[in-house]
Chain A
């Protein structure tokens, strides 16, 4: 079936309605709103861990927040940790900078991440830091775009036939 201008307009309206519906549902459904806020915080956090820099993508540029939220949905322990730990981000941000975490600038977010990294190992802020660091770094450094920037590649099929020579 050929796509007429009318068909395209109809499709745009249809998908626009769906997208609007999703936004409204999120606004009126507290649980969804909560998830939305979690996504925003996770995105801000992992972009602080992995910012765009010298041509390398940020974590959100290559979809890391979506990967983390997938784990959030599938892993109850991870979800529980995240839900219990994330209020700490806003509380601490408010105490130090009188704003929520997602509204801070990069230097301010780094300050909060620094605090989390120095918290006692069994504390929620440290768990938040170490688990988001582990998850985001794992997926970030196995992304083809990032590997290209690092001049790294998968071990096969070429192998490393120059292994006994100094690296170039």
Chain B
């Protein structure tokens, strides 16, 4: 085993949190090493959106993602919620049985992390959702408030290039969005009009996608395939924004395909080294004055829990036994139907339109706590081309199927909703006692439970989605997807909670571990609450910049 020269900061993970931290620190002259488990992606070569076969593959993952986590048995499905189950008008119910099915969480291992695959939604959290405990008696409060994060939100938006509406009322802003708003696609315009006809306010979404050229990156050309990776680099993923700028500073080294095995510690609650397998599969250690973990709310607790030793039997940073607890997932719903008019709905940006009316934690009527948002979902749900139409939309086969393919292409319209996920004692991440990955490390095991409040929130999301499509004139639905019967998380949160009380949280308000002073966590595992459907990347990046500022002050003091 070889040991590398000491860095000021070693960052594990190169996604939203790791990438933004690397830039903020390297830009100030701090010597940074970023270790990334996955490979580099070359946008022009890897994202094959110009090929006729573009639709056969989703995001081109280069690493096997199925060998990193497992599921504990999920809950039994209640017959009274059968109207919330996933189905398709051709293939029937997605889950024929009565037990919730394990799906996946959208996690990319690669330089840039899951931002390589995200749709670019760039949301600030609802200020009230940061006070869930004190305002609503559930979950936990954030130890930082919206006003504290506001300048960091702005800094990220300007650096990445976020486009949004000039008159957005959902959040208090000191400055306008740095890029002009994207126009809604024709299909989304019709959906927004339908929503407005039943009293909902729809507006263009705020997106980390360029509406006009910025530096060397061109403006978007609305191909609609952000989730398959952006070959043009107009989407503000971390690999084309923070990381190249960090490297350009001359103070940041990125090493891809380096799998971190564990953190090494002394008996003074100090992380002394990071052990990893390098690009050639050879064991290495590296030392840093500070170690930042940014692997996401499943891999981060896994790494800490796997960093056990004789003197640290519960894993590094787990004195309060809070690591892995308070796991929060994505509560999601979508409804899709066929519109009589050809909307050309394969065009435009995914999630280009959004409705924030029910985003506040107390906005859903009937005593349901926790908010949600609705957005256009046709492209997020991949109703994007002939393959999906042939297999999911147009029934039958033969000559009639071919006729209908020609007639129905472009007619699908889908709406989606994402809601608040609150902590529950039965939702957490642990180490799998039996299953291990290729390197012999225990897998993370996902425990997930949706309580009645969560299902009621989901029911409201379904009701509003169906009502909007009905108002648009959609006569019959063709598919609905729900996280009630399938665990499927685009975002995961909460497993190394940020807080002021060391017995109830893992890190403090600067994302610094309460006891391990040279250990920081900068991903959504520190979120005490999820918000009412906001995408987390902007908040992760804002927190990372604030944390980097704190670390820089520590290193220079």
Contacts and interface: CB of A to CB of B under 8 A. Distances in A.
B348 A160 contact: yes
B185 A155 contact: no
Interface in A119-163: 121-122, 130, 133-134, 137-144, 146-147, 150, 152, 154-163
B473 to A, nearest CB: 15
Given A141-B390, A160-B224, A147 B54 contact: no
Contacts of B410: 167
Given A110-B398, A152-B386, A152-B409, A164 B183 contact: yes
B347 A163 contact: yes
Contacts of B346: 155, 160
Nearest to A156: B49
A154 B406 contact: no
Given A134-B391, A158-B221, A159-B220, A165 B186 contact: yes
B50 A157 contact: yes
B91 interface: yes
Given A50-B402, A150-B409, A140 B390 contact: yes
Interface string A41-62: 0000000111101101000000
B397 A113 contact: yes
Nearest to B386: A141
B221 A161 contact: yes
Given A134-B391, A152-B409, A164 B52 contact: no
Contact of B386 (A50, A147, A166): A147
Nearest to A145: B52
A54 B400 CA distance: 12
B342 A150 contact: no
Chain A binding surface SS class = loop
B387 A142 contact: yes
Nearest to A139: B56
A71 to B, nearest CB: 13
Interface in B112-132: none
Contacts of A141: 55, 385-387, 389-390, 405
B402 A121 contact: no
Contacts of A147: 52, 386
Contacts of B406: 150
Interface string A72-116: 000000000000000000000000000000000000001001000
Interface string B170-199: 000000000000011110010000000000
A125 to B, nearest CB: 14
A167 B405 CA distance: 16
A49 B397 contact: yes
Contact of B223 (A48, A51, A113, A156): A156
Contacts of A150: 386, 405-406, 409
Nearest to B93: A121
B51 interface: yes
B438 interface: no
Contacts of B398: 48-51, 110, 113
Given A53-B402, A137-B391, A163 B186 contact: yes
B399 A51 contact: yes
Contacts of B50: 154-157
Interface string B323-363: 00000000000000000001110111100000000000000
Contacts of B96: 121-122
Contacts of B452: none
B387 A138 contact: yes
A85 B227 CA distance: 37
A9 to B, nearest CB: 40
B266 interface: no
A163 B92 CA distance: 32
Given A53-B402, A113-B397, A156-B223, A144 B52 contact: yes
A160 B52 contact: no
B231 interface: yes
Nearest to A147: B52
Contacts of A159: 220-223
A155 B55 CA distance: 10
B347 to A, nearest CB: 4
A152 B184 CA distance: 21
Interface in B62-120: 91-92, 96
Contact of A156 (B231, B386, B391): B231
A27 B405 CA distance: 41
Given A155-B385, A156-B225, A160-B344, 4 more contacts: A142-B55, A156-B54, A159-B220, A160-B348
25 contacts: A49-B401, A121-B96, A133-B391, A133-B397, A141-B55, A141-B387, A142-B52, A142-B54, A154-B49, A156-B50, A159-B220, A159-B221, A160-B344, A160-B346, A162-B347, A163-B185, A163-B224, A163-B344, A164-B183, A164-B185, A165-B186, A166-B344, A167-B186, A167-B342, A167-B410
Which 8 pairs across A and B sit closest by C-beta, in order of nearness? Answer: A159-B221, A167-B344, A160-B347, A155-B223, A141-B386, A163-B347, A163-B348, A156-B49
